[in-house]
Structure 1
Amino acid sequence: MKKLINDPADVVSEALLGIAAAHPDLGVDHQNKIVYRADAPVRGKVGLISGGGSGHEPLHGGFVGPGMLDAACAGEVFTSPVPDQVVAATRLADGGAGVLHIVKNYTGDVMNFEMAAELVTADTGVEVASVVVDDDVAVQDSLYTAGRRGVGTTVLLEKITGAAADEGRDLAAVADVARRVNAAGRSMGMALTSCTVPAAGQPTFDLPEGEMEIGIGIHGEPGRRRVPLAPAREVAEMLVEPVLSDLDFTGGDGALVFLNGMGGTPMLELYLMYNEVAKILQKAGVTVVRSLVGPYITSLEMAGCSVTVLKLDDELLRLWDAPVSTPGLRWGR
């Protein structure tokens, strides 16, 4: 294992120290491992929090700031944050208008966020709503989930829902936007290599030379099938076809296409892949009006990518274009 770390047990804590040093406009609760807006809570605004295992950076702490999340909980690598962390983040984000939990569909995340919501409501009376993201078309159930996994649509949902909250909408309206985004987004991913969790010191799974995994999750979970390496144009077909088969993306106000890197793939290859994906979508009659390319929801140093397509309407497009100012996404401010 070759990694830029000190002690594997301290990776998350020391990374949070780095976030605090690099981004003085953010606050960090080091005891509870929470990244939060320095001006939180914002009075009268619905608070947005999310979180999950570390190792997916910039998700979630890199998306804290105006226009996106109010706070994010960092679990240990590939491990859900515990309820006490979520409780503390919910209290930090509570500006008096309620708090929305954005939860990827992994069993530990769902359970711990649910428990935290019950504890906060019982203790303080804060109104908490939850939206579970389950956009992965690769498998119906996996090692970590009942139902589909939450993957790339999470990034788009946090951005669009953050804009809705910034407009001053109430909790029910903000949660409705989040559910609409989840219903309109589909994702599929692949891996060329595994990744190594620092505490484990060895690859999460064995992927021989000359093979790739189609339909992986963001923790390196196995997907639909293992196949021989293929040219990018064929890989793009393997990713896009299941997405288009699951939801009709034609018509309406177009689509947002997110070509995500899993952490170990250079931008050169991601843009090459985006070109192949765009050609397939054009042939299928999907009008692409917005795009996002880069490593935004990663799996440590895994080489590979995922494709997310989000069907837009005029409101979701406007909310996507709204200003955002976070370490991971920034425009219009």
Structure 2
Amino acid sequence: MNYVRTGMLLAAMTALFMGIGFLIGGQTGMVIALLIAGGMNVFSYWNSDRMVLAMHHAKEVDERQAPELYSMVRTMAARAELPMPKVYVINNPQPNAFATGRNPENAAVAATTGLLDALSKEEVAGVMAHELAHVKNRDTLIMTITATIAGAISMLANFMFFFGGSRNNPLGFLGNILMMILAPLAASLVQMAISRTREYAADRMGAQICGNPLWLASALQKIAGGAARVVNEDAEQNPATAHMFIINPLSGQNMDKLFSTHPNTENRVAALRQMAVEGGFTESRTSSRGDHFGVRDTPQAQRETQRPSGPWGAAGRTGTRGGSHSSGSKEPRKPKGPWG
């Protein structure tokens, strides 16, 4: 059903794009609009991954530079029956991660130092499994296409306002104004709906890949809490990439509402917990260290979150825990963990 819904949403966005082209120049305008969209999609297909990684100042790491993280991604990729993706680390105190790439053979996963510092080994495994699920489902390509078409719709709507439409527009100049406002809005809503649909699907597959839904459920709670406290300045400067992250990196976007690029975190956690119940998992099995990840954060749990608890150990401390960086910090300390 998720694939059917995604297909229907993509068809709706394409129809909207073609409709704008028709209003601008009739059938000729519709053909030109499709050619423009095709050119933009070809460019995005080959270059979107490098562009996104550069926007967030991601640094590629290998097995020597980040042995624990690299080995974990390799293990998760093997479980998902995927080629080994490139691994990147982003020097950013906000806990978050994303995947990119046009296909499984040219994929990359990226994690922030904030995520590696705050999450346990099991939780990081859940996050990496979620991102690899996006790769396996070809979501990275789907979201690239939707973002490109949404941008093209905005461009055409502005063109229509400044240069006028054809006689196919029954509302004349007023119709041009309405189209300039409503078309990009409709495209954004469709893009957000596709993103939210794909997140639920990646949560389910990611839980299957890592082997325990509660690992990912716990990770989502910690990431959501960290994202609410720490501003990701690169994401704020490039909001069009927000839908790629496992949790919305933008401030003030923690509600499951019409304009949110991500589902409500509590809804996602609830779905994963239900999946865990159906699979016979219990909270006591979520960590080899005996942590109870499924419960809400208590003061003690919050203190545990502030300490790097995964395979990174004391060397993974970056000084970004416990509010030592304000939410508006522009100069996060240089990480000292296995990422170099």
TM-score scaled by length of structure 2: 0.29
Higher-Rg structure is 2
Bigger relative contact order, structure 1 or 2, given CA contacts below 8 A and separation 6+?
A: 2
TM-score scaled by length of structure 1: 0.30
